[in-house]
Amino acid sequence: QKEVEQDPGPLSVPEGAIVSLNCTYSNSAFQYFMWYRQYSRKGPELLMYTYSSGNKEDGRFTAQVDKSSKYISLFIRDSQPSDSATYLCAMHGAQKLVFGQGTRLTINP
Amino acid sequence: KAGVTQTPRYLIKTRGQQVTLSCSPISGHRSVSWYQQTPGQGLQFLFEYFSETQRNKGNFPGRFSGRQFSNSRSEMNVSTLELGDSALYLCASSQTVSGELFFGEGSRLTVL
């Protein structure tokens, strides 16, 4: 069993929809939770970073962490075609950083 | 401020050959990490260097090695290439060990 599980998709939604991306994890030592966005032929870039359980908002993006369920989510409101990318969750703890497999998202105009 | 630069961007090798990939971190960043990205396995950690010392190593065979120079530039080497080594190799730099990662665009290796 992988330490971090993420559905690779692909996920395709119409423009303007709310997108929900999720990851589950098994290692209780993970304390920091991140979401990276990776455009085609580019390296990943940090999108959001959270430490505690709860919600964190940044514009159209909301990151949610539920440590009791070992479950994290990224919500994208009013999705745009420019949001089309692969989204990777990442978790840090016990001196290691582990990435999810990434979910490929396409926003259709 | 220039980002992380990786060279070469694309390369094709045959089984049994070896390859060296190069990474120039963001100016001032002393930590360099290497990752292998494949569709099936996602992003997997290879190793991390800080001030020319390997700080962490992932679960890859000894054919995968790396080093860091005094100017923080890093190289990774893969010897005796196998078909399964075909992947995107990403380098990331950070100011400190386990700090925020800034990725390069990667070197896409194809092994025939």
Question: Looking at residue B85, what DSSP letter applies?
Answer: G
Inter-residue contact A5 to A90 (CB < 8 Å) = no
What pLDDT sits at residue B1?
67
Are the C-beta atoms of B4 and B25 separated by less than 8 Å? Answer: yes
pLDDT digits 0-9 by tens, B26-35? 999 999 999 9
DSSP code of residue B9: S
Q: What is the DSSP string of chain A?
A: --SEE-----EEEETT--EEEEEEE--TT--EEEEEEE-TTS--EEEEEE-SSEEEEETTEEEEEETTTTEEEEEESS--GGG-EEEEEEEEETTEEEE---EEEEEE-
* Per-residue pLDDT reduced to its tens digit, B68-87: 999 999 999 999 999 999 99
Average pLDDT, chain A: 93
Dist. CA B93–CA B3, nearest whole Å: 9
CA of A105: how far to CAs of A76, A84, B62, B65, B82, in Å? 11, 5, 35, 34, 31
DSSP-based three-state secondary structure for B54: strand
Q: Give the chain B residue nearest A48 (alpha carbons).
A: B100
Contact call for A97 and B106, based on CB within 8 A: no
Whether A101 sits inside 8 A of B98 (CB atoms) is no
Partners of residue A9 in chain B, C-beta under 8 Å = none
- Give the closest of B42, B102, B106 to A101, CB-based: B42
Any idea which residue has 């929809």 for tokens? A17
pLDDT at B22 over 80: yes
What is the model's pLDDT at position A65?
95
Neighboring chain B residues of A45 at a CB cutoff of 8 Å: 102-103
Q: How high is the pLDDT of residue A94?
A: 77
Which pLDDT does position B2 carry in this prediction? Answer: 80
User: What is the predicted pLDDT for the residue at A96?
Assistant: 83
Query: pLDDT tens digits for A63-97?
Result: 999 999 999 999 999 999 999 999 999 998 877 88
Could you give the percent of chain A with pLDDT greater than 90? 82
Strands A32-38 and B102-103: unpaired
Chain B contacts of A88, Cβ < 8 Å? 42-43
The residue with greater pLDDT, A49 or B88, is B88
